[in-house]
Amino acid sequence: MSTAQTELRRKQIEQAEELLFSGQQKVGFAKDLFFGHFLTDSIFPYPSLPPALEEATQQAVDEVRQYTRDHIDAARIDRESRIPDEVVQGLGQIGVLGMCVSPRYGGRGFSQQQYCRIMEVIGAHCGGTTVFVNAHHSIGLRAIELFGTTEQKERWLPTLCSGETLAAFALTEPEAGSDASNVRTQATPTPDGRGFVLNGTKRYITNGAIAGMLTVMARTPDPKDPDGKVTAFLVTPDMPGFEVLEARMDKVGIRGTATARLAFHDMFVPKENILGEYGKGLKLALTVLDFGRTTFGASCTGVAKFCIEEATKYANERRQFGKALAEFDLVREKIALAAAEMYAMESATYHTAALIDTGAHDYMLETSMIKLFASDALWRIVNDTLQIHGGAGFFTDRPFERMMRDARLNLIGEGANDVLRCFNAMVGLRNLGKELQEVLKKPWRAVMLWRSPPRIPVHHSRLQKPAGILAKQIARFARACTRALVSYREDIIDHEFVQARIGDTATELFHASCVYTRLSGLLTNSKIDEATRQRELTTGLCYLQIAFRRNAQRLASIHNNDDDTLNKTAEAWLSKG
Ligand SMILES: Cc1cc2nc3c(=O)[nH]c(=O)nc-3n(C[C@H](O)[C@H](O)[C@H](O)COP(=O)(O)OP(=O)(O)OC[C@H]3O[C@@H](n4cnc5c(N)ncnc54)[C@H](O)[C@@H]3O)c2cc1C
């Protein structure tokens, strides 16, 4: 590695440390999997809303479902590449645009769990509207709600909740995509100390040209760092120097959303418009993305449920070779896989939403795992649903080709999936690495590294076997993580095959644990009707079986894989010249 590359790597590690691990260091269920633990208290019981809240939530869900059916024409929005103004106003009127904001500022004061229920409905109905709401609410106004001063909240939140003003979140730039910390937009302090002058460009910003308030990330001077630190600013489009380079970039899916390219030319922003702490913009961005990623889990669950309903209906009705499609094993396989993965994404989403609602501080790994799992699974589910419909699925009179185009964004937005696979591994391994360093200093503590299967509570005899496999797999995974760190040490940062294997195994273990917990509740809840219990039990156990098999393959491939061959082959093509 050249000196410049080494220096860049050192800086990247320093930045990541500051960003991800400063502040409160908490254990968490997903992080503790890397140590071979199963934190029972963090994951049990599977959440449910208290009866009064459940009733209020169901009412809101019904209202939103009715609204989407009556007023949101997803095919037209896709065709015309525009969400009509009346729809935006209507969503504001029924409270969707300020769902989680305190009633003090004009919102409905919903919890994250309640909000996820609403986003399932919108997700199932229209991909474009889902991303519009997510950009406005989950990452747009959420930044003010979480980090704003009282004055900023009073000034902005009421009109954002009603939809009179729309919000956008502007982080991405030509040089700052997956490498979000490489923001180049500069915010230079004015000599009189009144504010900052912004110069730079942003791209791919959802709602960027229709928003009345944008959270913009820009680089500000820092006495300790010549490269400066990123700070978040509240920006309005009436600020002189704000330019919309392109209001609606033409795109594959979620075509109704307005995705913009923006430029700032000597744009003055008063210092009162700093959002959160000076120099802590990236931390703010990561926190806000936690909410966006949880909502991704909910909207993907909504789409998956819709697909399963449509696929089963079609498979039962359509006959070929003298039989209903539903009688063919390979059609049944698609439906079973879709149901199993939908059950897992739903379980992990609501577990994490409930975790957020408890006021927990650290759910970064959980939200990243949800986004990764749900978007990957949904891509397969939509593809399989289209396949079950055969030629009929390919035409625009059915929604599946649109849903497929819409679902494609999920694998890229709010963190490209391959980046998240590695991120999930490195966040977990980092804590484990600290433990290893301790052991190296005090070798008699090496016993700490012995990972025996954790104790997993078994509430029903039907869960005895999966509990045993889950416990053994967690221990095996933790041993594999320790071995990887011992083998590669800090160079593990350059071994993405290893990281991806570890990240994917952890993600699957997390989802399996959420499903396991949910099944424990299901089997001990006397209020659930028997037919639902049996269907959910079969589906949950099916997911566990698939998850265990996939993880066994991942763990086996640590020693037996094609990594070198793939690297050599890629090199042969990359260096073709
Ligand atoms: C429709 C749409 C809406 C969006 N809305 C917003 C918004 O509202 N606000 C906002 O700030 N941003 C938004 N984005 C930007 C989005 O978050 C970025 O596109 C995303 O983070 C990826 O960045 P990039 O496009 O620059 O891809 P790049 O960083 O160039 O990466 C390209 C590909 O390379 C691979 N890759 C990159 N790094 C690695 C690595 N370390 N290891 C392995 N593989 C890697 C991945 O497969 C990735 O998909 C939006 C994007 C789209 C498409």
Is 414 an annotated catalytic residue? yes
Indicate which residue's Cα is closest to atom 48 of ligand 1: 416
Give the residue, by CA position, lying nearest to ligand 1 atom 11. 171
CATH 2.40.110.10 in the chain is located at: 169-278
Distance 410 CA to ligand 1 centre (A): 11
CATH superfamily of this structure's domain 51-166: Acyl-CoA dehydrogenase/oxidase, N-terminal domain (1.10.540.10)
| C-beta of residue 415 within 8 angstroms of C-beta of residue 293 | yes
Angle at 371 between CA 433 and CA 387, to 5 degrees: 130
Residue among 78, 141, 172 to mutate when testing ligand 1 (max atoms within 8 A of CB): 172
Ligand 1 center to 251 CA (angstroms): 14
Residue 323, pLDDT score: 98
Q: How many A from CA of 559 to the centre of ligand 1? A: 31
Fold of 169-278: Butyryl-CoA Dehydrogenase, subunit A; domain 2 (2.40.110)
Write down the pLDDT at residue 354.
97
Q: Can you say how many angstroms the Cα of residue 57 is from the centroid of all Cα atoms in its chain?
A: 23
CATH architecture of 283-409: Up-down Bundle (1.20)
Catalytic residue among 145, 341, 401, 414: 414
* DSSP letters spanning 8-70: HHHHHHHHHHHHHHSS-----HHHHHTTT---HHHHPSPP---HHHHHHHHHHHHHHHHHHHH
In the chain, where does the domain assigned CATH 1.20.140.10 lie? Answer: 283-409
CA dihedral (524, 526, 532, 534) positive or negative = positive
User: Across the strands, what pairs with 231?
Assistant: 218
CA 412 / ligand 1 centre spacing (Å): 5
Task: 546-552: list long-range contacts, CB under 8 Å, 24+ apart.
Answer: 546/337, 546/340, 547/344, 547/508, 547/509, 547/511, 547/512, 547/515, 548/466, 548/469, 548/470, 548/473, 548/512, 550/508, 551/473, 551/477, 551/505, 551/508, 551/509, 551/512, 552/473
Mutate to test the pocket of ligand 1, among 129, 171, 412 (most ligand atoms within 8 A of CB): 412
Please state the φ and ψ torsions of residue 211, each to the nearest 5 degrees.
-80, 145
Per the listing, tokens 């978007």 go with 375
| CB of 196 closer than 8 Å to CB of 189 | yes
pLDDT at 368: 97
The answer to whether residues 508 and 547 touch, using CB atoms and an 8 Å cutoff, is yes
pTM above 0.85, yes or no: yes
Closest residue CA from atom 26 of ligand 1: 177
Six-digit token string for 312: 């089963």
pLDDT for position 551 = 98
**58-86 tens-digit pLDDT:** 999 999 999 999 999 999 999 999 999 99
Q: Measured between alpha carbons, how far is 287 from 211 in angstroms, rounded to an integer? A: 21
The predicted structure's pLDDT at residue 434: 84
DSSP class of 190: P
Listed as ranges, residues in the chain with pLDDT below 50 are none
Say what the pLDDT of residue 437 is. 82
- pLDDT digits 0-9 by tens, 341-387: 999 999 999 999 999 999 998 899 999 999 999 999 999 999 999 99
For ligand 1, residues with CB inside 6 Å are 135, 169-172, 177-178, 204-206, 251, 259, 409, 412-416, 418-419, 422, 496
What is the pLDDT, as a whole number, of residue 362? Answer: 87
Predicted pLDDT at 72? 98
> Which part of the chain has CATH 1.10.540.10?
51-166
CB distance 46 to 520 below 8 Å: yes
Q: Kindly give the distance from the C-alpha atom of residue 432 to the centroid of ligand 1, in angstroms, as a whole number.
A: 28
